[in-house]
Each structure stands twice: as C-alpha cells, then as structure tokens.
C-alpha cells in the first residue's frame, strides 16, 4: 500500500483487503418476486464484481420488515440458498459482497405484511405514499412494537447476519439510514416511546446500537458495517437536534472493530462525520453525488476512506474500469430502476475489451 491513499489502490476493511476504494452503494431494484434472490440478481451482482465492495439492495431480516414490491429477504432457507448463488457469482469473479439488512418499519402497507399492520417504534404514520401493484397508496398508521417484539427483532438481525455468512456473503450492513426502522427509532417525530427505547438521544440510539452489537456478536464485528444519514429528512424524518441524536450513535458504534461506517452525507449542521473520524476507529465510506474528481479529493484529504457510488453503478457494471480510464459513463434509465426484468438491469454494456 502507498502512503497516499488512492481511489484505485487497496484498502483494508474488516478482515478483507479490497483492491480499490470504490463501493457499490445499496440499491433496491424490486426484482425478487416472492422475496427470493434469483439467478438474474446473481448475474447483476456478478457483473459488478470489480467494485472494491458491493453492498446489496436492502434485504429484510424478518417477514415484518417487508415493504415495496419484490424486495429480497434473508430469513428463510430458500432465501439463503438464493443468496448463496449471488455470493458465488460475485466471488467467482473475484469480488466481495455485504448484504444490507433493511427493515422498513412504518414505510410499508398491510398488503406487504400478509394483511397485518406494519410495525414501528410508535403508532405514528409517515407522510407519503408507496407504489403497489395496484398503484400508489398512502402509508398507514403502524402498530407500536412491544418491548418483547423489539428483543425478537434484535435476534432477527443477529440471525439474518448468521444467514448471510451461511450463504457465503462476506458480511452485512445495518441500514440505519433513510428513515427505515432503525432511523425511525432515532427520530423524535417517529419515536414517541417513553420506555428505554425512546426519549433521550441515548434511548433513541439504543435499537440501532443493539442490532449492530447483536450482529457483531453473531458473525464478528469485522463483518458488520453501519449506514447512517444524519440530517436526512427522507421518509418523513424530522430531527431538530442531529448532535443530540448522533453523538450517542457514534459513541455506541465506536471502538468495537466494526468493518466500516457508511454515511449518506446530507451535510447537517453538526459534523457527524468529523465526530466519527475522531472516535469510530475504522474505515469511513461516504456517498451521494460523487464523481471521480470529488472522490479522489475526499480520499486524498482523508475525509473518506472509501466512496460509494449509487446510480452510476446501475448503468455501469464496470464503473471501476471506466473511472480509471476516464471513459464515458452510460446514463442510468430511471424508468427501469424498480421492478421489471433484465432490461435496465443486466443489459448495460461494459467497455469493449
Ligand atoms: C434505485 C435506487 C434504489 C436505492 N435503494 C437503496 C437501498 O435499498 N438502501 C439504501 O441504503 N440506499 C438506497 N438507495 C440510495 C443509494 O444507496 C445512494 O445513497 C444514492 O443513490 C445516492 O448515491 P449516488 O449519488 O451515487 O446515486 C437507492 C438509490 C437508488 C437510485
């Protein structure tokens, strides 16, 4: 390794040494009918194996974490078998892949829950709508989890982490960003609990820290990453005190030997990334809106250790090679982001050999 970090040079992440600092960001593609990973998904991820690390689309650790159309799960044997084919396809091409564990909490509808109400920290609906097979529908008021159910969910995350490793995946990322279940616990407008899971910043951080610790205990901290989006209002999150919320989060995930922390950087008033740099003790991945020049600048300055690319990875399976060669990028087609088949998924061309 050279002294000056290089976007196209190796970096250690947990027990892995990645050949470059380019990460494929987690992206839901809604192509897993029956919540089962399939051969088309294995092909898609295999095509992107030159990434330093692939983080899969949001994958639910439990049946009640489902939302959106056709997202994969990782709680049944059949799902584990499906993920094994994905892991094998990526490893056969020399890549590395973490599964993103995403429980959507209140961002769901009864029709994705076998008719039951979605679960959340509190019975507070998010403003917004969700796409369903029969059109857009408003989000509903969820049912507040009991403390016993919270404990069951923590174990579900641990089991999902074990399942990921059993499937041959290299690790997991806890999705603590974008207002899904852990993000709902963090946010005072979505979490109105008065027990030890709500109220103070420390209490609101407890669920995120507990699922991270449980996953780390299950498969080793060096296989567990965490994604956060401080200050991001997506999914009707309103957090007037980012410092008060995220200081206990960073404290709770620091010094434990986790594989990485991954920020969707909305540049909140309080510098959470600076706080993580001081205390976390492991690699920091930054994301959102990066091009090669900005990625190189943030790596060179030490602000980030790795950079995650989202939409450009949808349309450029060989993004690493294209960035390295300053080759033009294919433009992503937004109409095929969610759902459908191979079109807009596995048919984006690589550079001619
Ligand atoms: C189609 C699509 C699906 C996404 N799904 C997820 C997801 O499942 N989990 C997640 O953490 N972020 C998700 N994101 C956000 C991306 O990981 C990333 O943060 C975003 O695209 C910004 O990065 P970019 O500017 O490089 O595209 C999704 C983004 C897109 C475009």
Strand 143-144 versus strand 135-138 pairing type? unpaired
Could you tell me if residue 349 is inside a domain? no
Phi, psi of 49 (to 5 degrees): -70, -10
Q: Specify the pLDDT at position 42.
A: 99
Could you tell me if residue 346 is inside a domain? no
Q: How far apart are CA 151 and CA 247, in angstroms?
A: 23
CATH number at residue 18: 3.20.20.70
pLDDT band at 266 (very low <50, low <70, confident <90, very high): confident
Nearest atom in ligand 1 to the alpha carbon of residue 287 is 23
> pLDDT at residue 1 above 80?
no
Q: Is the C-alpha dihedral spanning 48, 286, 339, 116 positive or negative?
A: positive
Nearest CA to ligand 1 atom 2: 27
Q: How many CB atoms lie within 10 A of CB 98?
A: 27
Q: Which of 23, 24, 26, 57 to mutate to test the pocket of ligand 1 (most atoms within 8 A of CB)?
A: 26
Task: Please tell me what DSSP assigns to residue 335.
Answer: G
Q: Specify the pLDDT at position 77.
A: 98
Instruction: Tell whether ligand 1 has an atom less than 6 A from the beta carbon of residue 287.
Output: yes
Q: Specify the pLDDT at position 212.
A: 99
Q: Which residue has the tokens 């892991």?
A: 87
Could you tell me if residue 213 is inside a domain? yes
What does the pLDDT average to over 214-218? 99
Q: By residue range, what is the domain housing residue 156? A: 11-336
Instruction: Tell whether ligand 1 has an atom less than 6 A from the beta carbon of residue 67.
Output: no
Q: Where are the beta strands (DSSP E) in the chain?
A: 11-13, 16-18, 22-24, 53-59, 97-101, 119-120, 129-132, 135-138, 143-144, 171-175, 224-228, 260-264, 284-287, 306-309
Q: Specify the pLDDT at position 353.
A: 79
Q: How far is the centre of ligand 1, averaged over its atoms, from the C-alpha of 310 (Å)?
A: 5
pLDDT tens-digit readout, 307-323? 999 999 999 999 999 99
Instruction: Tell whether ligand 1 has an atom less than 6 A from the beta carbon of residue 28.
Output: yes
Instruction: Tell whether ligand 1 has an atom less than 6 A from the beta carbon of residue 264.
Output: yes
Nearest CA to ligand 1 atom 16: 310
Question: In sequence order, what are the beta bridge partners of 97?
Answer: 54
Nearest CA to ligand 1 atom 14: 27
- Active site amino acids: 180
pLDDT, the chain, mean: 97
pLDDT band at 3 (very low <50, low <70, confident <90, very high): low
Nearest CA to ligand 1 atom 21: 310
What does the pLDDT average to over 258-272? 94
Instruction: Tell whether ligand 1 has an atom less than 6 A from the beta carbon of residue 104.
Output: no
Could you tell me if residue 351 is inside a domain? no
pLDDT band at 2 (very low <50, low <70, confident <90, very high): very low
Could you tell me if residue 269 is inside a domain? yes
Could you tell me if residue 92 is inside a domain? yes
Could you tell me if residue 89 is inside a domain? yes
Cα–Cα distances (Å) from 47 to 35, 53, 73, 207, 349, in that order, read 22, 13, 21, 35, 10
pLDDT tens-digit readout, 85-122? 999 999 999 999 999 999 999 999 999 999 999 999 99
What does the pLDDT average to over 229-248? 97
Phi, psi of 279 (to 5 degrees): -115, -30
Nearest atom in ligand 1 to the alpha carbon of residue 264 is 19
What percentage of the chain carries pLDDT values higher than 90?
Answer: 97
Contact 66, 108 (CB under 8 A): yes
Could you tell me if residue 5 is inside a domain? no
Nearest CA to ligand 1 atom 19: 288
Tell me the DSSP string of 291-306.
-HHHHHHHHHTTS-SE
Per the structure, how many domains does the chain have? 1
Q: How far is the centre of ligand 1, averaged over its atoms, from the C-alpha of 88 (Å)?
A: 24
């Amino acid at each position: 390794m050279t002294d000056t970090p290089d976007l196209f040079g190796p970096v250690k992440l947990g027990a892995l040494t990645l050949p470059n600092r380019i990460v494929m960001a987690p992206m839901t593609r809604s192509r897993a009918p029956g919540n089962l990973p399939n051969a088309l998904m294995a092909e898609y991820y295999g095509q992107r194996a030159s990434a330093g690390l692939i983080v899969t689309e949001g994958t639910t650790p439990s049946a009640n974490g489902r939302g959106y159309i056709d997202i994969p799960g990782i709680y049944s044997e059949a799902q584990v078998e499906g993920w094994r084919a994905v892991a094998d396809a990526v490893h056969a091409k020399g890549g590395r892949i973490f599964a993103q564990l995403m429980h959507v909490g209140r961002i769901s509808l009864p029709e994705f829950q076998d008719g039951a109400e979605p679960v959340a920290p509190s019975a507070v609906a998010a403003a917004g709508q969700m796409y369903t097979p029969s059109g857009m529908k408003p989000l509903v008021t969820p049912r507040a989890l009991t403390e016993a159910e919270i404990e069951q969910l923590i174990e579900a995350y641990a089991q999902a982490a074990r399942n990921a490793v059993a499937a041959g995946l290299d690790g997991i990322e806890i999705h603590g960003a974008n207002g899904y279940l852990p993000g709902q616990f963090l946010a005072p407008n979505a979490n109105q609990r008065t027990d030890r899971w709500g109220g103070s910043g420390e209490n609101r951080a407890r669920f995120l820290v507990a699922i991270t610790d449980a996953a780390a205990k299950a498969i080793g901290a060096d296989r567990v990453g965490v994604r956060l989006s401080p200050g991001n209002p997506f999914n009707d999150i309103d957090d007037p005190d980012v410092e008060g919320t995220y200081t206990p989060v960073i404290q709770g995930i620091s010094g434990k030997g986790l594989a990485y922390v991954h920020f969707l950087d909305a540049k909140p008033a309080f510098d959470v990334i600076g706080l993580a740099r001081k205390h976390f003790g492991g690699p920091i991945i930054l994301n959102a809106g990066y091009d090669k020049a900005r990625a190189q600048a943030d790596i060179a300055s030490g602000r980030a250790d790795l950079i995650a690319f989202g939409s450009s990875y949808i349309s450029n399976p060989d993004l690493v090679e294209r960035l390295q060669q300053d080759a033009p990028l294919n433009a992503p087609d937004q109409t095929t982001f969610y759902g459908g088949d191979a079109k807009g998924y596995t048919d984006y061309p690589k550079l001619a050999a």
